[in-house]
């Protein structure tokens, strides 16, 4: 099933603070774009609202229980629709937030995780834990902070 999750977390699993990313990592954002461009991205409503604009070159899908939700640049979707598209062979990337990651993790085939080498004081959103009995680390690359990065980071790819 080509359902992928993609996130950046700190060394304690924190992925967000006050509705935003708690760091600026240009290199990670470039990786995110390279992986997701040309594919549908699935997110929760709060993640959608945190974006400055719809992600270009990607179909922006918002998971929400509110059947009346509408917003320009995104389409409302359901868990069933996401699973059906994934099972039909379409590659989709789940991009947040914490509740959506936890909801979609059981159906995912790959996780692209960036570990940002810092610990955010007061992180209020966390990534789900990857159970070593279910997931294996397929690749790992530590990357020193470059221009536009606040911290060193490690790019990981996990698979079932």
- State residue 28 phi and psi, 5-degree precision: -65, -40
| Residues whose CB is less than 8 angstroms from the CB of residue 86 and which lie 6 or more positions away in sequence, other chains included | 1, 2, 3, 92, 107
- Average pLDDT of the segment spanning 38-46: 97
As a whole-number percent, the residues of the chain with pLDDT over 90 amount to 97
CB 74 within 8 A of CB 129: no
- CA atoms of 70 and 72, how far apart (whole Å): 7
Q: Can you tell me whether residue 27 is helix, strand or coil?
A: helix
pLDDT at position 99 over 80 = yes
Asked: is 3-159 a CATH 3.40.430.10 domain? The reply is yes
- pLDDT tens-place string over residues 45-95: 999 999 999 999 999 999 999 999 999 999 999 999 999 999 999 999 999
pLDDT at position 1 over 80 = no
Indicate the average pLDDT of the chain: 96
Closest CA to 59 of 95, 99, 111: 95
- CA atoms of 25 and 156, how far apart (whole Å): 15
- CA atoms of 46 and 63, how far apart (whole Å): 10
């Amino acid at each position: 099933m080509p359902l992928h999750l993609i996130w950046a977390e700190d060394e304690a699993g924190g992925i967000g603070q006050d509705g935003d990313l708690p760091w600026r990592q240009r290199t990670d954002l470039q990786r995110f774009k390279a992986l997701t461009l040309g594919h549908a991205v699935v997110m929760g409503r709060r993640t959608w609202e945190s974006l400055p604009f719809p992600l270009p070159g990607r179909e922006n899908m918002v998971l929400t229980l509110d059947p009346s939700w509408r917003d320009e640049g995104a389409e409302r979707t359901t868990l069933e629709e996401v699973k059906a598209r994934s099972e039909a062979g379409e590659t989709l990337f789940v991009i947040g937030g914490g509740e959506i990651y936890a909801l979609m993790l059981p159906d995912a085939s790959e996780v692209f995780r960036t570990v940002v080498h810092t610990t955010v004081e007061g992180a209020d959103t966390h990534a789900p834990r990857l159970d070593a009995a279910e997931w294996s680390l397929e690749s790992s690359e530590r990357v020193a902070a470059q221009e536009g990065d606040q911290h060193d980071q490690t790019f990981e790819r996990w698979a079932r």
